[in-house]
Structure 1
């Protein structure tokens, strides 16, 4: 089931994603009707990222960027048990945010995704 769902969200176009969704419904509806109903009901919202340029899909499709930023905030603030004041805390968080932004601009995921075997496999389907 996971492979089928992944094929929907990693499709190379909205048309292909909807085709994979149709196949998912046909294959799994009899065994897992509640799962199919839940996914089917929110499919349009789930595929909204496909309305944007393809190079932005990878960051719009997941919450990884947000999770990574929160993890970095925690990593930087945990060793600092006492912060001199609220402004100092804001400056620290702003510094961490800026550092992550510069990293993401220098290493966009779009450059990497072309080399991942999973993406090549999905395109060939």
Structure 2
């Protein structure tokens, strides 16, 4: 990150600041299992899920009633679900949910506990 800032900071200070100010968020991708990286292509999976629904409502000029809109969204998502790709390494999902620590995509077996109570 320092090399990037040195190379481009003088010419593009605002653009470099956008990246360097939120470097932890930008690199949070590496806090997940390497096998899951292919699935983390977007920061907004909900938006990607509803892309089919948004496209269809544009084509039909709106769903009509609220009930018709909900029914159409449900059926479109149900249909799209058949084409969704399965998660790589599904056994790691439980570890992620349990709070396991991953560094550069690799599971850290014994992470250092840095909580104040462990120092006592």
CA distance in 1, matches of 2:61, 2:9: 52
Q: What does residue 52 of structure 1 align with?
A: 32
CA distance in 2, matches of 1:52, 1:105: 18
TM-score by length of 1: 0.53
CA distance in 1, matches of 2:84, 2:6: 39
CA distance in 2, matches of 1:69, 1:38: 27
Q: What does residue 29 of structure 1 align with?
A: 9
Gaps of 5+ in 2: 89-120
TM-score by length of 2: 0.54
**Which structure has greater helix proportion?**
1
Indicate if the aligned counterparts of 1:49 and 1:61 stay in contact, CA closer than 8 A: no
| Greater Rg over alpha carbons, structure | 2
Q: Size of the alignment, in residue pairs?
A: 88
Q: CA RMSD in A?
A: 2.8
Gaps of 5+ in 1: 1-20, 111-125
